[in-house]
Amino acid sequence: MDSRPEIARAAAEAAARQSYGKLVAWLAARTRDVAAAEDALADAFAAALERWPRTGVPEKPEAWLLAVARRRRVDAVRRRLTSEAGRDHLKLIAEEAEARMTDEDLPDERLRLMFACAHPAIEPGVRAPLILQTVLGFDAATIASAFLLSPATMGQRLVRAKSRIRETGIPFRVPERGELGERLDAVLEAIYAAFAEGWSDPAGTETRRRNLATEGIWLGRLVASLLPDEPEALGLLSLMLFAEARRAARRDAAGDYVPLAEQDHALWDHALVDEAEACLRGAATKGVIGRYQLEAAVQSVHVARRLTGRTDWMAIRELYDALFSIAGSPVVAINRAVAIAETEGAVAGLAALYVLGDDKRLDDYQPYWAARAGLLARLGQGPWAVEAYDRAIGLERDPAVRRFLQARRTALIQ
């Protein structure tokens, strides 16, 4: 035990970051009540923050948290029972389970929980958000932002999905191959969303997002290792590794944002790049092309600059054409428009961007306004570019990217 308050608080914070999904998965797998598992675990973390600074950090924090969470869950069930015999039975079960978890390692059941959240009985649009909340502890507001929905709408959908798991008795298991396809898509989407949220905090300064990129890669490795014949699992892992390999080059010595085209490739993690390329080659041998493989291929073309000294924008344009044909999302369309601008000129790129103008989801989407501003500036449309930059700057959360956009805007009006 170590009773120093600052160490105790840090230990509780570390346990919340590293063990939340593992503990929720273990609890929920035995009751199929995800909401109750989350509530019990929230009580356990609150107890840790209150007790550990006074009593010291337990030797096995995960086991301590699980024991308290189970006790809270048993107490909740007990309050609904009238039979004294039933209460005694529940108490005995809790004590036995607590003793076991003190001496044994906690099994990791996150993959089973992810597939339960991706079950066909769950509404398709909420499967990935549900995985993010239950496995990684994202709050509804963060998830809503990632999926371009209001927090209230997202919160309601998550509550309904958890009730669905409990009421229909959805099993916590990795599905057989015949039922894997649709549910694997939701699992991969959630993993990528987790990685992207952590990637958007490059300095790792926000507690709720710290280590999410690392966690996303870990989950990607887990799925790829358990499902080695699934090309999209390998494609996603490749995509995340390509991005993570460039982390050190995203900021200069002063902490300012450096766009991909201007990054010093000597700062890239070449071991991660090589691993990403190997994953992409492995996916290509499976004979089925999908979204994540195409996105990883785009990144592969970008990092090829370390060998050729130039970016092959025609190859990137062709890859985005293929990607748009199978995943015609606004995000893909924006990137495709940028590639068109590089190969056919700013007028063609802006025309491709304007086609998206009626999509209301883009009103508050920063990359759309930043791309629009850049293309307008290239065409000499200063006032319109400044207006678009203003929208992009107002929507950007990252201070370094905001400074970068402000500098581009300032250059237009000087």
The model's pLDDT over 338-387, given as tens digits with 9 standing for 90+, comes to: 999 999 999 999 999 988 877 888 888 999 999 999 999 999 999 999 99
Closest CA to 399 of 213, 184, 274, 254: 254
Closest CA to 295 of 274, 264, 316: 316
Query: Which residues are bridge partners to 251 per DSSP?
Result: 257
> Given this model, what pLDDT does residue 344 score?
96
Closest CA to 338 of 284, 395, 271, 260: 260
Q: How far is CA 398 from CA 122, 199, 247, 393, in A?
A: 34, 11, 15, 10
20 near 48, Cβ under 8 Å?
A: no
> Given this model, what pLDDT does residue 241 score?
97
Nearest-angstrom CA–CA distance, 193 and 20: 17
pTM of the model: 0.75
> Given this model, what pLDDT does residue 4 score?
66
Angle at 131 between CA 130 and CA 136, to 5 degrees: 115
Helix axes 61-79, 5-31, angle to 10 degrees: 50
Closest CA to 32 of 102, 113, 96: 113
Tokens 């982390």 appear where?
247
Closest CA to 307 of 270, 258, 257: 270
Helices (H), 212-357: 212-226, 231-245, 270-284, 291-303, 305-308, 313-326, 330-344, 346-354
> Given this model, what pLDDT does residue 202 score?
52
* pLDDT in 10s for each residue of the chain, 414 residues: 455 677 777 777 777 767 787 888 888 877 778 888 888 888 888 888 888 887 788 878 888 888 888 887 777 666 655 454 455 544 544 544 444 544 456 667 888 888 888 888 888 888 888 988 888 788 888 788 767 788 999 999 999 999 999 888 888 887 777 777 777 888 898 888 878 877 776 554 444 444 678 878 988 998 898 888 899 999 999 999 999 999 999 999 999 999 999 999 999 999 999 999 999 999 999 989 999 999 999 999 999 999 999 999 999 999 999 999 988 788 899 999 999 999 999 999 999 998 887 788 888 899 999 999 999 999 999 999 999 999 999 999 889 999 999 999 999 987
Question: At a CB cut-off of 8 Å and minimum separation 6, what does 132 contact?
Answer: 138, 143, 146, 190, 193, 194
Nearest-angstrom CA–CA distance, 184 and 114: 9
> Given this model, what pLDDT does residue 103 score?
41
Helix axes 110-117, 124-136, angle to 10 degrees: 160
Give the end-to-end CA distance of the chain in Å, rounded to a whole number: 62
